[in-house]
Structure 1
Amino acid sequence: MISIEVNLQAAIQAFISSGSHSPALDATVLMCHVLDKPRSYLLTWPERLIEPKQQLQFDALITKRVAGEPIAYLIGEREFWSLPLEVSTSTLIPRADTERLVELAIEKVSLLDGDILDLGTGTGAIALALASEFPSRKVLGVDLQLEAQQLATRNAKKLNIINAHFVQGSWFTPIEASNQFACIVSNPPYIDKMDPHLEQGDVRFEPLTALVAEEKGLADLRHIADQSRKFLKKEGWLLMEHGFEQGEAVRAILAQYGYQFISTEQDYGHNDRVSLGCWQ
C-alpha cells in the first residue's frame, strides 16, 4: 500500500506532464473525494496508507484527469455561488464567470417585484443562486433535456431551496402565455460550431447541445431576446451570458427588438460576458 503523500506527489507530476493548470489542487480534490475526507485530513495524516480499493479508484481518476476529463465530472460536484451542486455529463459545468450574471440579476431584481425565469438552466446553478438570494420570489428554470431538469430538481431538494421549480421543454414552450417575469436570465448555447475552442479543455467533454448555436453562435440569443418580450413585466430585465467577442452583436440584437438601457458587462477576467436590456 502507498501513503497519501506519495500518491499526491505522483498525481501532481502526472498532471504537470499533462498540462494541468492546477496540478496540486486537482490531486488534492481527487484524493479527498476517494477518501471522503476534508483537505485538513491530508495535511494531518500524509503518512497514512490508503486501502487497495481506494488506490484503484484514485489511479483510475488520475488516468481520466490526465486524458483531460474535468474534475467536476470526475467527482460529480461543483460549487457555484457557495452552493454545492451535483453535476453530470448531461449539463455544462457551472463556471465562476457565470456568477457575474447572478450579481447583475440581483441588482435588477432588487428594484422590482415579480418572479424570475432561467432559460437553459442545466444544473440549476443560476436559478438556485437567485432563489437562495430571494427566498420570497418564485424562480422557474427550464431546460430542453429531461436529465438536466431532473438534476436541477435534485439540487434544489438537496439544498432545501423550496422556491425554485424546474420544468422540461424548449425555451418558452412549457410556460403559460399569461406568465410575466420581473427578470429573465439565460446562459444559452453561444459558440459557433466551427470554433476551435470546442477541441480544447473541459468543453471537449461537455454536451454540444449546451454549447453550440447556429448563426455563428447567435441564434439562441436572438430567439430569447425576441420571445422574452412576451414574458417580461413592464420595466423587467433580460440578462444573457455570451461569448467574449459577441457583446456588440448581442447589444445590436437587443436594440433591434426594442429593449432600453442596453449594456454589456464584463466577467472577472475583464471579458465582455453579459448583455442586458430593459423592456419598457
Structure 2
Amino acid sequence: MRAFGQAAGTAGPPGSDRGSPTVTRRRWLEQAGRALRGTEASRRTAELLLCAVLDTTRVALIAHPDREVPPEAEERLAELLARRLAGEPLAYLLGWREFYGRSFEVDAATLIPRPETEHLVDEALARLPERTVHFADLGTGSGCLAVTLAAERPFWKGVAVDISEHALETARRNAERLDAADRLTFVCADFTRPGFWDAGDAGLHLVVSNPPYVGEAEYAALDPGVRDYEPKTALVPGPTGLEHPRAVVEAAWHILRPGGLLLMEHGATQGEAVRALCPPERWQDVETGRDLAGLDRYLAAVHR
C-alpha cells in the first residue's frame, strides 16, 4: 500500500517500506503539508490532525519533533488525511470546533459553529447587562449559543430547544464539560409547530437562534464541503429559506416578555425580508446587524 501523497513509482516516505524506521512527527507533518497544499491553513490542519491522533499538544509537537509516530497512529492519520483531501470538514475529523474561545464537540448530525454566530453572543452580552437573565436558544444544535451564554454569565439560565435528540445529547455533553449544565434545560421539541410556546415560559428576557435559513436554490450552490457533509436539515428549512426564521420570530413573540430581545442569525441577502417578519404592532427597534465582512448577518428586535 502506498503512503498518502505517494505517486506510483516514487519512493515512499520513511516507514513506508517494510522494515524501514517509523515516520517521525516532523516527517509526517512535512508529508501532510505537501499533500494538503492548496487547502486552507495546510500546516495547521496537519498539526491538528497529528495532535488529535497522538492525544498531544502543539507545544509537544514543537518540543519533540523527532519522536516516532506509532504504526497504528500512521494508519489512523492516513485515513483522516484522505477524508480531509476528499473535502470532509476538519471539525468533523477532529470531533470539535472552537466557538467563543471554547471547544465544542460536533459530529455529522450537528451544524459546525461559525465565527459569524459569535455576533449573537456579543450582542446579547452587550445589550443585557442584568445579573439574571432567562433565555431560550431555538434550534440549539451543538449548544454553542446556549452553553456560551451560560458560561459567560453564570447567573443566566436558559432553555436549549432542538428537534433532534442526538443534537441535544451533544449539547448536553458540551454543557457538562464546560460547567454550564446546571443552568440549562434541554428540551426536545419542534419550535416551528404552532402552539409550541403554549408549554413554555412567556416571560423570557432573551431568545437567540441560528435557525436553518438556506433556500433550496442557494443550497445547490453551496461549497461541497458544506453541502455534502453538514446535515441538510440544519441548513435548509424549505424552498425560500425563510420558513424557520418566520417560525422563530413567531415563537419569540409568544415567549418573550415586553421589552425582551430577539437575536437571530440569517443569510447575507435576507436582511430586508427578515425585518419584514417583525410587524410594528409586535416589535420595535428592529435592526439588522452586520458581520465583520460588512454583510447582513442577524436580526435584533425588541418585543413591544
TM-score by length of 2: 0.87
> For the structure 1 residues 253 and 98, does the alpha-carbon distance in structure 2 shift closer, same or farther, using more than 3 Å as the test?
same
2:143 is the alignment partner of 1:119:
no
Compute the displacement of 1:109 (Å): 2.4
Name the CA distance, whole Å, in 1 between partners of 2:143 and 2:198: 17
Greater Cα radius of gyration, structure 1 or 2: 2
Deviations 1:150-203, CA, capped at 9 Å, x for gaps: 111111111121212211111173762443210001000000112134343334
* Equivalent in 30, 34, 54 of residue 9 of structure 1: 30
> For the structure 1 residues 256 and 217, does the alpha-carbon distance in structure 2 shift closer, same or farther, using more than 3 Å as the test?
farther
Task: Say if 1:78 and 1:87, in contact at 8 Å, map to a contact too.
Answer: yes
2:210 is the alignment partner of 1:191:
no
Deviations 1:181-231, CA, capped at 9 Å, x for gaps: 100010000001121343433342110000002241011101111221111
Name the CA distance, whole Å, in 2 between partners of 1:113 and 1:236: 13
Q: Which residue of 2 aligns with 1:59?
A: 78
Deviations 1:218-269, CA, capped at 9 Å, x for gaps: 1110111122111111100111101111111111112366311011111122
* Equivalent in 219, 223, 229 of residue 253 of structure 2: 229
> For the structure 1 residues 130 and 178, does the alpha-carbon distance in structure 2 shift closer, same or farther, using more than 3 Å as the test?
closer
Name the CA distance, whole Å, in 1 between partners of 2:244 and 2:148: 23
RMSD: 1.7
Task: Please say which of residues 53-62 and 78-87 is displaced more in the overlay.
Answer: 78-87
Name the CA distance, whole Å, in 2 between partners of 1:114 and 1:150: 24
Name the CA distance, whole Å, in 2 between partners of 1:197 and 1:240: 23
Deviations 1:12-46, CA, capped at 9 Å, x for gaps: 11112xx4111111111001111111101111222
Q: Which residue of 2 aligns with 1:262?
A: 286
SS at match of 2:103: strand
Q: Which residue of 2 aligns with 1:252?
A: 276
Name the CA distance, whole Å, in 1 between partners of 2:51 and 2:225: 23
Q: Equivalent pairs: percent with the same residue?
A: 36
Task: Say if 2:206 and 2:260, in contact at 8 Å, map to a contact too.
Answer: yes
Task: Say if 1:149 and 1:166, in contact at 8 Å, map to a contact too.
Answer: yes
SS at match of 1:93: coil
Q: Which residue of 1 aligns with 2:111?
A: 92
Task: Say if 1:167 and 1:174, in contact at 8 Å, map to a contact too.
Answer: no
Name the CA distance, whole Å, in 2 between partners of 1:184 and 1:175: 16
Q: How does 1:6-45 map to 2 (within 5 A)?
A: 6-16=27-37, 19-45=38-64
2:240 is the alignment partner of 1:240:
no
Q: Which residue of 2 aligns with 1:167?
A: 187
SS at match of 1:129: helix
Q: Which runs of 5+ in 2 are unaligned?
A: 1-21
